[in-house]
Structure 1
Amino acid sequence: MDEQENGDDRRGIQSIDFVGKVLRALAAAPGPLNLKTLSIDTGVPAAKLHRYLTSLIRIGLASQHEKDGKYDLGPLAIRLGLAAMARRSVIDEAEKVLNDLLDRHGLTGHLSVWGEQGPVIVRTHHGGVPLVTSLGLGRVLPITRSATGLVFMAFLPEVATAPIARREANAATDKTLLGRKVEDTRNRGVGFVDGTVIPGLAALSVPVFDFDGSLACALTATALDGAFGKDGADSAIAHELLAAANSIKG
């Protein structure tokens, strides 16, 4: 029988383990697979594989194309995937990752999302002695002068950021320098400013991407001027913050 009952229930049920192998193979494939290819990918004889596929199709976890007989994920598999994504908030995970880092280093920081007027702070955290700033919940940050704004300019489509950038620009705005900062942020994956939003305050910011590759939010750490060094984007904290953001799977 399939259930492994030799005194250790943790060993599970072989048939379900096998179903998982089949579904993983279908999910990893770039498109529908014929029986022979699926047999090779799973290492299971085609005759046995066909019996399992028949049951998977019956319950909706797999499907078979009428035209060429190839197998693919079924409607229930798609529904399960969508339900899992709907119940998993990338923002909640990003907040936890940011707070852990801020606590370790005794820093203050925030998490921002894109709003109609630009980046909006939606979560804040004090990992040490709170800095006296105006960077509270609901604060809309400038995209041309903040580390957070540089991240959104670097990783959002220009059509979204350009109108706000134009509104912020004035006679003193060095557009060439701004362009270099945005490009540097895009290349390094880290935005950095020193005292341009709030005098005496430096900030590092990194992007967090959702499952579809779109920018979900930005994680920002703040400290007193000079705390991140002259090239803050290459500081140890910056590298750690970027690695933390990259660990989040949307």
Structure 2
Amino acid sequence: MEEMEAQVRLTSSSQGIQSLETAFSILNCFKEAKAPMSVSELSKRMGMPKNKLHKYLVSFTRVGALIQNKKDSTYALGATLIELGLVALQQFDVVKIAKPYIREFGKQLNHSVALAIWSDDGPMIAEYERSDKPIQVEIQAGYRLPLLMTALGKCFAAFLPPAQVQPLLQQEIRKYGLDNHMVDEELKKIRGARVSFRNTPFAGIPGSMSVASPIFDYTGNMVAALCLIGFAGEIDFSQSSAEVIRLIEKADQITNLLT
């Protein structure tokens, strides 16, 4: 955990990518204009030469971030940005909506509770409610989790579209020497039960045991996972236990709020 925090501090204080920051400045210029713009108008607003702007516009158009009107040679924000915005909005909504329920759930059970969402690098802790117990599981928002070595990660591996998780899934299978067939069988069980478990300690992962259940949005897509985290002997991790059943019910309750 300390190593990951150090990496975060290093990343935040290191030099960024100037061209990427410039690219976002161009997109912000379109946002503020609230209307299509020609290269000449954009050049004036940005204070940037047209030939330099042209390279950005070509790339933006290729990836769908901008669209070009061939008739008057103006550019406008494209569908790709709308799609990204909708995904970001969904993730923001689930975190905002789930937060009070996570706090209430954690206090009811006096267990540490986490909410994770999907990021480009895999599952990421978005909210965390610690218990009042003397020995604490400490996790910070932004902490990224392995896909196949955590209950939260297994939830995403089971319920997200295969194309979305396959690269990371295969990478971890190779890294940890896992068996493809056994992984597939476990993910099938998780889909059937709507709950995933980690019942053994794993280096660098807080807590020795955890159980997670998926949360879905109005489209039926998984957008988050709710998790109980603790140590051996603290939580009954059997699938029929009252705590596991309440976890699934709480995840379903948040799902209902999103649908």
Decide: shared fold, TM above 0.5. Answer: yes
Q: CA deviation at 1:233?
A: 3.0
Report what 1:185 is aligned to.
Answer: 190
Equivalent in 112, 129, 140 of residue 125 of structure 1? 129
Report what 2:239 is aligned to.
Answer: 233
- Give the counterpart letter for 2:249 in structure 1: A
Q: CA deviation at 1:104?
A: 0.8
Q: CA deviation at 1:102?
A: 1.1
Contact 1:108 1:130 in 2 (8 A): no
Contact 2:194 2:248 in 1 (8 A): yes
Report what 1:97 is aligned to.
Answer: 101
- Unaligned residue ranges in structure 2 (runs of 5+): 1-88
Query: Is 1:158 aligned to 2:165, yes or no?
Result: no
TM-score when normalising by structure 2: 0.58
- Give the counterpart letter for 2:240 in structure 1: D
The separation in 2 between residues aligned to 1:180 and 1:193, in whole angstroms, is: 15
Over residues 147-204 of structure 1, what are the superposed CA-to-partner deviations in whole Å (9 max), with x where a residue is unaligned? 0011101110010111001111236312222222211111111111112434861101
> Considering only aligned residues, what root-mean-square deviation do their CA atoms show, in Å?
2.5
Query: Is 1:201 aligned to 2:208, yes or no?
Result: yes
The separation in 2 between residues aligned to 1:240 and 1:136, in whole angstroms, is: 24
The separation in 2 between residues aligned to 1:233 and 1:130, in whole angstroms, is: 26
Cα pair distance change 1:134/1:200, threshold 3 Å: closer
Structure 1 residue matching 2:144: 3-state secondary structure: coil
Cα pair distance change 1:92/1:225, threshold 3 Å: same
Which deviates the most, 220-229 or 193-202? Answer: 193-202
Q: What percentage of residue pairs aligned between the two structures are identical? A: 24
Equivalent in 233, 246, 249 of residue 252 of structure 2? 246
Query: Is 1:114 aligned to 2:121, yes or no?
Result: no
How many residue pairs end up in the alignment?
Answer: 165
Query: Is 1:213 aligned to 2:220, yes or no?
Result: yes
The separation in 2 between residues aligned to 1:151 and 1:127, in whole angstroms, is: 23
The separation in 2 between residues aligned to 1:152 and 1:210, in whole angstroms, is: 14
The separation in 2 between residues aligned to 1:118 and 1:227, in whole angstroms, is: 28
Contact 1:202 1:227 in 2 (8 A): no
Cα pair distance change 1:106/1:121, threshold 3 Å: same
The ranges of structure 1 where at least 4 consecutive aligned residues each deviate by more than 6 angstroms after the TM superposition are none
Report what 1:136 is aligned to.
Answer: 140
The separation in 2 between residues aligned to 1:233 and 1:94, in whole angstroms, is: 23
Over residues 65-88 of structure 1, what are the superposed CA-to-partner deviations in whole Å (9 max), with x where a residue is unaligned? xxxxxxxxxxxxxxxxxxxx98x9
The separation in 1 between residues aligned to 2:140 and 2:200, in whole angstroms, is: 17
Cα pair distance change 1:196/1:166, threshold 3 Å: farther
Structure 2 residue matching 1:160: 3-state secondary structure: helix
The separation in 2 between residues aligned to 1:200 and 1:117, in whole angstroms, is: 22
